[in-house]
Amino acid sequence: MKTLDVVIVGAGAAGLFCAGVAGQRGLKVLVIDHCDKIAEKIRISGGGRCNFTNRLLDASAPQKHFISQNPHFCRSALSRYTPQDFIDLVQKHGIAFHEKHKGQLFCDHSAEDIIRMLLAECTAGGVDIRTGCSVKSVHAPTEDKTYYTLDTSDGPIQTTALVVATGGLSIPKIGASDWGYRIASQFGLRLVERRPGLVPLTFDGAAWAPYAQLAGLALPVGIETGEKKNRMHFDEDLLFTHRGLSGPGVLQISSYWQEGTPIRLNLAPEVNLPERLQEAKLRSKKLLGNELATLVPNRLAEAWISQDPALQRTAAEVPDKALNKLAEALSSWRITPTGSEGYKKAEVTLGGVDTRDVSSQTMESKQPGLYFIGEVIDVTGWLGGYNFQWAWASAHACAQALAEKHGA
């Protein structure tokens, strides 16, 4: 049985990138994945074009764009492998890309370009990739042995370093599993409670009935949750669905939303509604609904007007109190989600392996020779390429540490 320098479990963004870097530093690397198809999360990300990083990431203040019980944990890796470093690699491979919104970079053609790049980097490093291979158990080094033994569906494998890059629980249909968390627990590492992040929010019952008809409507909004120091606000697009709310704004706020608490929405963030509605009352003979439809999308205006008979008249006839109430409802809509679409629709998993048990410099855990990279750790980025950059940066930090340990 051959002993490898590094075995990486998980052939996603972090696992493949770590393998390529470590292999090119001269290490013997094997990547194994229980799925037959590798990098599925890359393949479906960004609408199939992979939002692979974000130019606006500030490594000196990661708490701006990352969620963790210790948001400063990711600073070291992010400062040593920056978005520009990954952009340089993308350009080296001749991949065309563009900036879409708020620093978000996407491939011009397909996410497959990023996957091919990662595989080419692995090939350059002589990396062996084995798919459809599941790990049944992991045995730690003993006093007379310096390597881990993995019992796999392809037989036993030995390695001096084991890297867990298995991602989180989101999107189980493409192979997500809790294997990484189980390995962490096996070796006595602490876990931060996991929950879906970057996920659509749902609303049940009669309270949502007037808005279900708005499914498919998208519009820019201001959205926030939390109070005082814990208040988070985003200016992004919103999408109504049959079951609730989605779109970039909702996905962003979902990572901060706590069950049982409300979210607040400004459905006309660029309009002074009290002022404009009062103007309409003074000058217009049209129905209020028609006037409102010039300020917000027509379907949205209809949904609000239909709920209050006092609003179903000409603008001039609507009492000031009803106008002010309408303006308040649209500019500060307060509604409490009953839940979310869960891991099946979540883009990431919040929580994971506790950063207190992992080195921010090397990604090695308190269990010597056992490393964790990417989403499996309690580090979650905002929507917009931040999670991919954490995958690249944590993988790079781990690969460099492995090479130094082996004197490569």
Q: Domain check: are 40 and 176 in the same one?
A: yes
Rounded mean pLDDT, 3-9:
96
Domain co-membership, 268 together with 300: yes
User: CA nearest 341: which of 176, 172, 219, 224?
Assistant: 172
The last residue of one of the domains, among 298, 324, 341, is: 341
46 and 157 both lie in a single domain? yes
The residues near 233 (Cβ < 8 Å, ≥ 6 apart) are 222, 223, 224
320 and 393 within one domain: no
Q: What's residue 274's pLDDT?
A: 94
Residues 70 and 159 in one domain: yes
74 and 148 inside one domain: yes
Considering the domain architecture, whether residues 10 and 115 belong to the same structural domain is answered as yes
Confidence (pLDDT) at 387: 98
> pLDDT by residue (tens digit) across 10-63?
999 999 999 999 999 999 999 999 999 999 999 999 999 999 999 999 989 988
- The amino acid present at 138, given as its one-letter code, is V
DSSP assignment letter at 314:
B
Looking at the fold, whether 362 and 284 belong to one and the same domain comes out as no
Q: The whole model's pTM is what? A: 0.96
Whether 159 and 32 map to the same domain: the answer is: yes
Amino acid occupying residue 266: N
Domain boundary pick from 310, 341, 372: 341
Question: How many CB atoms are closer than 10 A to CB 229?
Answer: 5
Q: Provide the pLDDT for residue 146.
A: 86
Rounded to 5 degrees, φ, ψ at 371 are: -120, 150
pLDDT digits (tens, 9 = 90+) for 327-376: 999 999 999 999 999 999 999 999 999 999 999 999 999 999 999 999 99
139-152: per-residue pLDDT in tens?
Answer: 999 877 789 999 99
Are 304 and 327 in the same domain? Answer: yes
Q: CA 38 to CA 14: how far, in whole Å? A: 12
**pLDDT single digits (tens) 238-288:** 999 999 999 999 999 999 999 999 999 999 999 999 999 999 999 999 999
Total domains, the chain: 2
Confidence band, pLDDT 50/70/90 cuts, at residue 297: very high
The domain in which residue 17 lies consists of: 3-195+350-405
Q: What is the pLDDT of residue 206?
A: 81
| DSSP-assigned beta bridge partners for residue 224 | 233, 264
Residue 1 in this model has a pLDDT that exceeds 80: no
Segment 245-254, tens digit of pLDDT:
999 999 999 9
Above 90 in pLDDT, residue 176? yes
CATH at residue 143:
3.50.50.60
Q: Are 281 and 316 in contact (CB under 8 A)?
A: yes
CATH number for position 328: 2.40.30.10
Task: Check whether residue 234 and residue 320 sit in a common domain.
Answer: yes
> pLDDT per residue over 104-133, tens digit each?
999 999 999 999 999 999 999 999 999 999
Give the rounded distance of the alpha carbon of 239 from its chain centre.
18
- For residue range 177-234, list pLDDT tens digits in order: 999 999 999 999 999 999 999 999 999 878 898 899 999 999 999 999 999 888 999 9
| 275 DSSP assignment | H
The pLDDT value given to residue 324: 94
Same domain? 190 vs 113: yes
Burial of 216 (0-12, 13-18, 19+ CB in 10 A): exposed
pLDDT tens digit sequence for 314-331 = 999 999 999 999 999 999
